[in-house]
Amino acid sequence: MKKQIVFFTGAGMSAESGLATFRDMGGLWEQYEITDVATPEAWSRDQQLVLDFYNQRRKQLLECEPNNGHRLIASLETDYDVKIVTQNVDDLHERAGSTDVLHLHGELMKVRSSKDESLVKQLDGWELKQGDLCEKGSQLRPHIVWFGEAVPEMDNAIPIVQSADIFVVIGTSLNVYPAAGLVDLVKPGAKIFVIDPNSPTVNKSVTNISEIASKGMEELLKYL
Ligand code: APR
């Protein structure tokens, strides 16, 4: 039986690929007001401002490549049952070859109906425009979980986290709930590693690897 290793990743995982994190110096939430671009109220108030924000992020994502951290995680699938629970909306884990990725906060390259959230589709290119409608005639919106919205994938994430023999947290400040609460659900006896240059506080016994994602993954391999 292959050991189950679960990676719980955040924006720091993709920093070396050129994508800004949210709360670090120069991060997205220093450049933009959350209430202008990442809430349902913002969408009702100024759709174009919200569309522009995600269109820019998509354009940037299309110019990025997975980094060695992403690739090393994918390479572990040979010897481990690897599952990824990510807060990231980018597709860099998948582009690095990872086959089991759960996105808690949505996916940047997908859009969905404003009327029926089950109507989700891949976006062709980077630009979503006003007037792009779903099959029910409603404006398409980014397939992103905005602040104040439910996180439907939590129900699928919890059993994955609870079944981990090894749990690896990479590049998240653990500021945003309910996602950050997943760390508390790791089963007793499972080994927990935290890869982050600014090790976030975790109320459990963990092995901190105070490194950037790519270097931290090289370190992690020495423990496995
Ligand atoms: N390698 C590893 N970790 C890094 C790197 C790196 N190269 N660069 C920065 N970090 C770490 C920071 O030290 C910080 O702990 O990544 C973390 C980034 O934290 P945040 O910017 O808060 O991102 P995240 O935790 O993913 O945010 C959670 O908040 O804005 C919402 O929905 C959004 O999913 C996001 C959620």
Report the distance separating Cα 82 and Cα 102, nearest Å.
12
Distance between Cα 1 and ligand 1 center (Å): 33
pTM of the model: 0.97
Q: Which residue has the tokens 């949505």?
A: 106
User: Ligand 1 pocket, 213 CB below 6 A?
Assistant: yes
pLDDT along the chain (224 residues), means of 10: 96 97 88 94 98 97 98 98 98 98 98 97 97 98 98 98 98 97 97 95 92 98 97
What pLDDT is recorded for position 202? 87
CB 202 within 8 A of CB 58: no
Amino acid 212: pLDDT: 98
Q: Answer whether 66 contacts ligand 1 (Cβ < 6 A).
A: no
Pocket perturbation via mutation, ligand 1, pick of 37, 64, 89, 172 by most ligand atoms within 8 A of CB: 172
CA 29 to chain centre: 16
- Residues in Cβ contact with 192 at an 8 Å cutoff, skipping those fewer than 6 apart: 166, 167, 168, 169, 183, 186, 202, 204, 205, 206, 207
Strand arrangement, sheet containing 101-103:
101-103, 81-86, 4-9, 166-170, 191-195, 207-209
Q: Give the HSE-up count for residue 44: Cα atoms under 13 Å, Cβ half-sphere.
A: 3
How many angstroms separate the alpha carbon of residue 116 from the centre of ligand 1?
Answer: 30
pLDDT at 124: 93
Ligand 1 binding pocket includes 67 (Cβ within 6 Å)? no
By the 8 A CB rule, do 141 and 112 touch?
A: yes
Position 1 scores a pLDDT of 83
Quote the ligand 1 centre to 224 CA distance (angstroms).
24
pLDDT digits (tens, 9 = 90+) for 65-75: 999 999 999 99
Distance 123 CA to ligand 1 centre (A): 25
To test the ligand 1 pocket, which listed residue (19, 24, 36) has its Cβ within 8 A of the most ligand atoms? 24
- Ligand 1 touching residue 171 (CB < 6 A): yes
Ligand 1 binding pocket includes 211 (Cβ within 6 Å) = no
**Is 200 touching ligand 1 by the criterion CB < 6 Å?**
yes
Give the pLDDT of residue 24: 87
The pLDDT value given to residue 28: 87
